Amino acid sequence: MNILVCIKQVPGTTKVEIDPANGVLRRDGIASKMNPYDLYALETALTIREQHDGLVSVITMGPPQAEAIIREAYMMGADQGFLLTDRRFAGSDVLATSYTLSQGIRTIGSFDLIICGKQTTDGDTAQVGAAIAEWLDIPHVTWVRAIRTITERGMTVEKNMAESIETVSIQFPCLITVDKDIYMPRLPSYKKMIETNNRTITSLSLDDLPDQDENHYGLNGSPTQVERIFQPDDSREQVIWDDAMDDGADKLFTVLINEKYIRT
Amino acid sequence: MDGLIIGQQCTLCGKCLEVCPFDALELIDGRIQVNANCRLCRLCVKHCPEQAIRLQTSASVVDKSEWRGIMVFGEYGDGQLHPVTIELIGKARELAGKTKMAVSVVLVGHDLGQTADSLLDYGVNTVYVYDDPALATFRVDVYANVLTEIIGEMKPSVVLIGGTSLGRSLAPRVATRFRTGLTADCTQLDIKDNTDLIQIRPAFGGNIMAQIITTRTRPQFATVRYKVMDSAVKTVRTGKVISRSIPSDLLKSRLEVVRIEKKDALPSITEADVLVVAGQGVRSKDDLVLIRQLADRLGGQIASTRPMVEKGWLDYTRQIGLSGRTVKPKLIITCGVSGAIQFCACMNAADLIIAINRDPAAPIFRIAHYGIVGDLYNVIPKLIQRIEGSAQYAI
């Protein structure tokens, strides 16, 4: 099995603030880490490799410092890592990010299975995985919570829907995004760190990709634009009713309707 | 505008003419040409033995006046319409009103019964129905083919899809085919006079809000969070239902749904969207039934404070607090909970906190968004009665 895991470096906390002076995120002083949901994706790949042999590769797009999470993936057991890094990739939205990753994937080889985390903790879109699958013209299943069987031709997985569990079989090559808790991620090992200290990380820039049109990458290739960011207004005003004076049940009923917990 | 490009590798083998379901390709003057029937289904791209055909997109700005209308994806599953659809219709009508556009719904599934017709009650102008056994279960590749077909033909300015498990799997595939913008999990939407959709969504776990627009391309795709927009209200019926079908080739899938099981295992209190908490104001173990009933009616779970677990009334897995679990539900209703610091610290991140307690000085009222100073034995039975008396309660 040739497995690829897509990973991303994210800020170490979601408690980020906006600089009132220029309206952009304050990123300085915030440590980075691997997107926590990607650990489940990587663990899934490593577990499959243990049972079916093969190679586990990781790919990420980001600044040169994102190398750190490929090192971390090596310490968990990944075999090879690729870093898509180029100033021209900056400012990518869902479309441009998924396109760049798909171009990188085409460059480095062909894979039976691509695994992504269910979402990142910074962008929170949960939509890049499915878009990569579309660019590569392969089927995908999102929110996979368990892998039932794997054969040469494909796999059967359990998919976590809001109110049901769907068992779906899918043909290789394919992409899945995995839910939290599919497997417990292993810890990075010191032994592996020593072993992989000198292992190369392959950097890819736009010049290495099949599509060289700069209009398809970064800000140029991103149809969506962020007009502004702001801190949410959580100054909800408090309301207290006295059941002896007002009908408390009636007041609550209205609140629950307005908040859409009851439909009429 | 996007279009197909036939490259020089073309050997005029004619394979593309065979596979095109729309007669969009013709052999004219010794080369393959694309006519206006093209729906960008890409079957030709896939089948070309020479890989001579590709989809070309232009970076230039699209003519926005060519893309009109708000299209809503009607999510249907398990024999019923997902309620998010009615919420999307409500928002679509508001956006359409501001820009004098029409609202359409695309309903996809099998054995849809009267569902399409019932949508006309909500002021939808056109409901496009794709009813086919091949669409009975959600298979993302086939559903994407259907949406691509109707969007390619109707050219809506905006496509709204529920931010559900299904919607967030489907939307990226379709938006990618049109090489256009997709904004995930929107919680607020508005529209500019030039038909640019103003999309507001949370990021960083809700700590930051971003306002996003799609200025150069159409259609504008947005997935919209469930239970945020107001449901459409019924109005005068003026719309119509149109049955449609797509070529059987586009109904072939590389996915097979083997089985669908209803979830029976209850989510743990850390995963539940709605929690109703029993505190010491509950006088006996038997009275917990009141708390359970309220939780049931709201589609939630019962949780408790530490003393209730120590008395053995509830399992420790239901305990909120420093010695129990930390929770962040969308809604939490505390019943007879005073609000010790060890408890509040582990639930005060809930989106909406409602407290019922007899003591107006109880610390829980310091963090509650809504509070009722009163006896839970008076308030809760009446509340349950009101909920049961209403037409339908939330899932």
Nearest CA in chain A to B233: A264
- Whether A238 is covered by a domain: the verdict is no
Across A24-112, the runs of DSSP E, i.e. the strands, are: 32-34, 55-61, 80-84
pLDDT value for A31: 85
Q: Which two tokens stand for residue B88?
A: 């999307």
Cis peptide before B247 (omega within 30 of 0): no
The closest CB to that of B207, out of A15, A228, A264, belongs to A15
pLDDT value for A264: 65
Count of CB atoms within 10 A of residue B180's CB? 24
Residues of chain B with pLDDT under 50: 1, 393-395
> Do residues B54 and B5 make contact, with C-beta atoms less than 8 angstroms apart?
yes
Contact B182 A123 (CB under 8 A): no
The β-bridge relationship of strands A164-171 and A32-34 is unpaired
Which is nearest to A224 in space by CA: B370, B221, B152? B221
The closest CB to that of B165, out of A15, A143, A262, belongs to A143
Which is nearest to B204 in space by CA: A118, A122, A10, A12? A122
Burial of B82 (0-12, 13-18, 19+ CB in 10 A): buried
> What percent of chain A lies above the pLDDT cut of 90?
73
Q: CA of B29, closest CA in chain A: separation in Å?
A: 30
pLDDT value for A234: 63
pLDDT value for B393: 46
Torsion angle of the four alpha carbons B176, B181, B187, B193, in this order, in degrees rounded to the nearest 10: -140
The closest CB to that of A126, out of B184, B255, B365, belongs to B184
- Whether A34 is covered by a domain: the verdict is yes
- Whether A49 is covered by a domain: the verdict is yes
CATH of B3-56, one of 3.40.50.1390, 3.40.50.2300, 3.10.580.10, 3.30.70.20: 3.30.70.20
d(CA B94, CA B105): 15
d(CA B281, CA A40): 42
Angle A129-B173-B116 (CA atoms, 0-180°, nearest 5)? 130
pLDDT value for B217: 94
- Whether A258 is covered by a domain: the verdict is no
Contact A249 B259 (CB under 8 A): no
Which region, left, alpha or beta, applies to residue B203 given φ > 0 means left and ψ of -120 to 50 means alpha?
beta
Which is nearest to A239 in space by CA: B237, B145, B354, B110? B354
Reported as a pLDDT band with limits 50, 70 and 90, residue A54 is very high
User: Which residues numbered 141-160 in A keep a CB inside 8 Å of some CB on B?
Assistant: 141-143, 156, 159-160
- Whether A252 is covered by a domain: the verdict is no
ipTM: 0.90
Across chain A, the runs of DSSP E, i.e. the strands, are: 2-6, 9-11, 32-34, 55-61, 80-84, 113-117, 140-150, 154-160, 164-171, 174-178, 201-204, 224-230, 239-242, 262-263
Q: Does A40 touch chain B (CB under 8 A)?
A: no
- Whether A91 is covered by a domain: the verdict is yes
DSSP string, B20-69: -TT--EEEETTEEEE-TT-----HHHHH-TT--EEEE--SSPP-GGG---
pLDDT value for B323: 85
Contact A164 B210 (CB under 8 A): no
Which region, left, alpha or beta, applies to residue A248 given φ > 0 means left and ψ of -120 to 50 means alpha?
alpha
- Identify the domain containing residue A191 by its residue range: 2-216
Is residue A60 helix, strand or coil? Answer: strand
The closest CB to that of B205, out of A121, A162, A230, belongs to A121
Q: What is the pLDDT of residues B125-176, one digit of tens each?
A: 999 999 999 999 999 999 999 999 999 999 999 999 999 999 999 999 999 9
**Percent helix, strand and coil across chain B, each rounded to 5?**
30, 30, 40
Cis peptide before B219 (omega within 30 of 0): yes
Q: Which CATH number characterizes residue A131's domain?
A: 3.40.50.620
**Number of domains chain A contains:** 1
Least confident span in A2-11, A12-21, A117-126, A208-217: A12-21
B256 contacts in chain A (CB < 8 Å): 168-170
B140 contacts in chain A (CB < 8 Å): 130, 139-141
> Is pLDDT at A23 greater than 90 in this prediction?
no
Nearest CA in chain A to B388: A262
User: Which residues numbered 167-226 in A keep a CB inside 8 Å of some CB on B?
Assistant: 167-171, 174, 215, 220-226
> HEC states along A202-234?
EEECHHHCCCCCHHHCCCCCCCEEEEEEECCCC
Most confident region among A89-93, A123-127, A146-150, B257-261 by mean pLDDT = A146-150
Mutation test of the interface with chain B: which of A158, A260, A264, choosing the one with the most B Cβ atoms within 10 A? Answer: A260
Q: Which two tokens stand for residue B293?
A: 């009933």
Contact A160 B165 (CB under 8 A): yes
Contact B254 A251 (CB under 8 A): no
Count of CB atoms within 10 A of residue B7's CB? 11
The closest CB to that of B213, out of A123, A227, A252, belongs to A227
d(CA B378, CA A248): 9
d(CA A150, CA A154): 6
pLDDT value for B262: 86
The β-bridge relationship of strands B70-74 and B126-131 is unpaired
Contact B370 A239 (CB under 8 A): yes
Question: Tell me, which fold does domain B274-386 have in CATH?
Answer: Rossmann fold (3.40.50)
- Whether A210 is covered by a domain: the verdict is yes
Contact B83 A124 (CB under 8 A): no
pLDDT value for B227: 82
Burial of A145 (0-12, 13-18, 19+ CB in 10 A): middle
Q: CA of A201, closest CA in chain B: separation in Å?
A: 29
Indicate where chain B has its CATH 3.30.70.20 domain(s).
Answer: 3-56
Indicate where chain B has its CATH 3.40.50.620 domain(s).
Answer: 64-251
- CATH of segment(s) B64-251: 3.40.50.620
- Whether A54 is covered by a domain: the verdict is yes
Average pLDDT over chain A, rounded to an integer: 92
A244 contacts in chain B (CB < 8 Å): 373-374
B213 contacts in chain A (CB < 8 Å): 224-225, 227
